[in-house]
C-alpha cells in the first residue's frame, strides 16, 4: 500500500536527456498526465507559482472536474508557467523520490520544454533574452553603454522592446556597466593561504554574466570582503554563461556547450584546492545540481560540484573554522531580507541571515517566499504582471518589519530578484527603503564602503 507521503528527504535522479525517449512527446505527455493527476489530488503547491493554479483551474473548469476533462493541448499552458525554481520538489511535494510515486514536477516540465525547443516552437525573441553573453558583449564600452542605457530608459524604446522582444514595458531591466567586473577587479593583496577545517583558504570567483556585465559592484564588494579577511582570491581565467537561462528554455544542447566551456576551467581550480564562489544563486545551483544531474558520470563535473560555494555559505563555514573577522564598523538598522528560491534548494540553510545577524545594531527579518522574478519570467510581456502578483505577499511582508515600521534596507541574494522586490515596493506604494545586495550590506558593515 502506498504511503501518504515521504518520510525521507527528497533525492534527485539523473536527467536522462540523451535518451531518445526523453523527446518522445507521447511518452512525455503520459508522464505529465500521471503527475498532474497526483497534483490534482493533493494541491499542496497551489501557492508556490502560477503553474499549479493554471493546472487546477483547467481541471476545475473542464467538462468533468477531473483531469480527463482537460484538453491535452492545454498541458502546455502549465508547462509555460514553470520557471524551474525547484521549490515544489525540494520543499512541498510529499511524493518525490524515494517515495514510490517518484514525482518530479520540475524535471518533467523541463522535459516538456526540451521537446518544445527541439520542435522549433520557442520564439527567436525568447532565445535572445536567454543569451546573456550576447547582451553583455557591449558592456565596458563607455560610449556604447551610455547610448544603450539612455535609449532603454525612453518610453518609445521600451514600447519597441515590448513589441519586438516581448519585454514588458514596465518591467525593471538592468543597465550595462561602464566597466565590467573582470576589468575593474583589483589584484588580491593577501597571499598567505590559511585553510580551515571546513574551508579552503583561497577562492576562485566565477563572475557570472549579470555581475560581470551589469552590476560589477556586487563582485567588487565580495572581493573586498575576502581581502578584509585575508583570503587570497582570483577570478577564473575565462567563463561562459552558466547555462541557467538556456535550461529554462529547454535548450539542453546549449547547456551542454556551456558545460564544455566552463567545466575544464573550473575543474583546474578545484584540483588546485580553491573554493569556487558565485554571487548569483541560479549560477551556483547550475554547478551544484543541474549540470551534475545532466552529466552524472563526468568526474570533472562532480569535482566542480564539490568545490562550488555560495558566498555566504563559504563565509559561514569560515566563521565555524574561527577564521572570519567580525570587526564591524557600522550597523545596518532594520533589514528585510528575502531568501531566493535558488538559494533555498541548495539545502545549505540560512547562511546569509546567519552572517548578517552578527552585525551589531542590525535587526534582520527573513522572508522565505518566491519574489516572482525567476529570470526572464519576470520581464516578459506575458508574465511580468503574474510575476508582480506572485511577489506581492513578499513585498508587503518585507515592508512591515518585525522591529516595527518600515525597513531601512531591503535585499536578496538574487540581484535580479532584489530589483524586482524594489519595483514591487514602488508599484504598491510601500515606501522606498535602500536596496542593497547582502554582500554590499556586509561590505558596508565592515566599513569597506560608504552606505
All three cell numbers of 353, joined, read 541571515
CB 111 within 8 A of CB 28: yes
Residue identified by cell 512527446 is: 25
**Is the pLDDT assigned to residue 60 strictly greater than 80?**
yes
Extents of the domains making up the chain: 20-119, 124-165, 181-319, 327-446
As a whole number of angstroms, the distance between CA 392 and CA 380 comes to 17
Strand partners, 335: 364, 409
Q: What is the pLDDT of residues 278-332, one digit of tens each?
A: 999 999 999 999 999 999 999 999 999 999 999 999 999 999 999 999 999 999 9
- pLDDT band for 144, please (50, 70, 90 cuts): low
Positive or negative: CA dihedral 407, 215, 374, 296? negative
As a whole number of angstroms, the distance between CA 104 and CA 96 comes to 6
Q: What is the mean pLDDT of residues 337-360?
A: 94
Residue identified by cell 593583496 is: 189
Strand order in the sheet with 409-412: 362-367, 333-338, 409-412, 434-435
Closest CA to 82 of 59, 53, 42: 53
- pLDDT band for 380, please (50, 70, 90 cuts): confident
Q: Taking the CB of residue 405, how many other CB atoms lie within 10 A of it?
A: 10
As a whole number of angstroms, the distance between CA 347 and CA 161 comes to 37
Residue identified by cell 528560491 is: 341
Average pLDDT, the chain: 91
**Residue 220: per-residue pLDDT:** 97
Closest CA to 216 of 245, 238, 186: 186
- pLDDT band for 47, please (50, 70, 90 cuts): confident
As a whole number of angstroms, the distance between CA 145 and CA 139 comes to 6
CB 346 within 8 A of CB 309: no
Question: Which range among 26-30, 32-36, 209-213, 378-382 shows the weakest confidence by mean pLDDT?
Answer: 378-382
Count helices and strands (H / E) in the chain. Answer: 23, 8
Instruction: Return the SS3 of 207.
Output: coil
Q: What is the mean pLDDT of residues 397-418?
A: 95
Helix (H) or strand (E) holding 151, with range, is helix 142-152
CB 251 within 8 A of CB 259: no
As a whole number of angstroms, the distance between CA 306 and CA 219 comes to 22
- pLDDT band for 1, please (50, 70, 90 cuts): very low
As a whole number of angstroms, the distance between CA 382 and CA 389 comes to 13
As a whole number of angstroms, the distance between CA 277 and CA 229 comes to 15
Protein fold of 327-446: Rossmann fold (3.40.50)
Please spell the DSSP secondary structure of 64-78, one letter per residue: SSSGGGS-GGGHHHH
- pLDDT band for 138, please (50, 70, 90 cuts): low
All three cell numbers of 91, joined, read 520543499
| Residue 13 DSSP code | P
As a whole number of angstroms, the distance between CA 412 and CA 310 comes to 13
Q: What is the mean pLDDT of residues 12-40?
A: 94
**Is the pLDDT assigned to residue 447 strictly greater than 70?**
yes
Question: 160, exposed or middle or buried, with CB in 10 Å at 0-12, 13-18, 19+?
Answer: middle
**Is the pLDDT assigned to residue 159 strictly greater than 50?**
yes
Strands 362-367 and 333-338: parallel
- pLDDT band for 161, please (50, 70, 90 cuts): confident
Better-predicted residue by pLDDT, 167 or 336: 336
Amino acid at each position: 500500500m502506498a504511503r501518504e507521503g515521504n518520510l525521507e528527504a527528497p533525492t534527485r535522479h539523473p536527467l536522462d536527456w540523451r535518451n531518445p525517449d526523453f523527446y518522445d512527446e507521447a511518452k512525455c505527455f503520459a508522464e505529465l498526465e500521471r503527475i498532474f493527476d497526483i497534483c490534482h489530488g493533493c494541491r499542496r503547491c497551489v501557492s508556490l507559482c502560477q503553474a499549479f493554479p493554471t493546472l487546477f483551474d483547467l481541471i476545475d473548469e473542464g467538462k468533468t472536474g477531473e483531469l480527463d476533462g482537460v484538453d491535452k493541448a492545454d498541458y502546455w499552458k502549465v508547462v509555460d508557467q514553470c520557471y524551474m525554481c525547484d521549490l515544489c520538489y525540494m520543499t512541498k511535494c510529499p511524493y518525490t523520490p524515494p517515495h514510490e510515486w517518484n514525482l518530479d514536477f520540475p524535471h518533467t516540465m523541463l522535459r516538456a520544454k526540451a521537446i518544445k525547443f527541439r520542435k522549433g516552437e520557442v520564439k527567436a525573441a525568447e532565445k535572445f533574452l536567454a543569451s546573456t553573453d550576447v547582451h553583455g558583449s557591449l558592456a565596458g564600452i563607455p560610449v556604447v553603454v551610455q547610448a544603450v542605457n539612455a535609449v532603454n530608459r525612453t518610453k518609445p524604446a521600451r514600447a519597441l522592446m515590448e513589441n519586438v522582444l516581448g519585454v514588458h514595458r514596465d518591467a525593471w531591466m538592468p543597465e550595462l556597466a561602464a566597466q565590467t567586473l573582470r576589468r575593474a577587479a583589483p589584484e588580491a593583496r593577501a597571499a598567505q593561504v590559511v585553510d580551515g577545517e571546513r574551508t579552503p583558504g583561497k577562492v576562485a570567483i566565477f563572475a557570472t554574466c549579470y555581475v560581470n556585465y551589469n552590476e560589477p559592484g556586487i563582485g567588487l564588494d565580495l572581493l573586498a570582503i575576502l581581502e578584509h579577511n585575508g583570503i587570497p582570491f582570483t577570478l577564473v581565467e575565462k567563463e561562459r554563461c552558466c547555462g541557467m537561462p538556456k535550461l529554462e528554455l529547454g535548450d539542453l544542447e546549449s547547456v551542454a556547450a556551456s558545460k564544455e566551456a566552463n567545466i575544464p576551467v573550473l575543474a583546474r581550480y578545484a584540483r588546485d584546492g580553491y573554493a569556487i564562489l558565485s554571487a548569483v544563486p541560479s549560477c551556483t545551483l547550475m554547478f551544484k545540481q543541474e549540470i551534475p544531474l545532466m552529466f552524472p558520470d563526468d568526474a570533472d563535473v562532480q569535482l566542480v560540484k564539490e568545490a562550488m560555494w555560495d558566498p555566504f555559505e563559504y563565509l559561514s563555514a569560515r566563521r565555524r573554522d574561527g577564521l572570519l573577522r567580525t570587526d564591524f564598523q557600522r550597523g545596518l538598522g532594520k533589514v528585510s531580507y528575502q531568501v531566493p528560491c535558488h538559494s533555498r534548494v541548495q539545502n545549505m540553510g540560512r547562511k546569509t541571515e546567519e552572517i548578517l545577524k552578527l552585525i551589531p545594531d542590525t535587526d534582520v527579518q527573513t522572508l522565505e517566499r518566491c519574489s516572482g522574478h525567476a529570470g526572464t519570467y519576470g520581464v516578459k510581456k506575458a508574465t511580468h504582471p503574474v510575476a508582480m502578483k506572485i511577489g506581492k505577499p513578499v513585498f508587503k511582508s518585507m515592508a512591515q518589519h518585525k522591529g516595527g515600521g518600515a525597513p531601512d534596507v531591503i535585499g536578496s541574494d538574487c540581484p535580479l530578484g532584489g530589483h524586482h522586490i524594489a519595483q514591487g515596493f514602488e508599484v504598491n506604494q510601500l515606501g522606498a527603503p535602500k536596496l542593497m545586495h547582502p554582500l554590499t550590506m556586509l561590505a558596508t558593515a565592515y566599513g569597506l564602503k560608504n552606505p
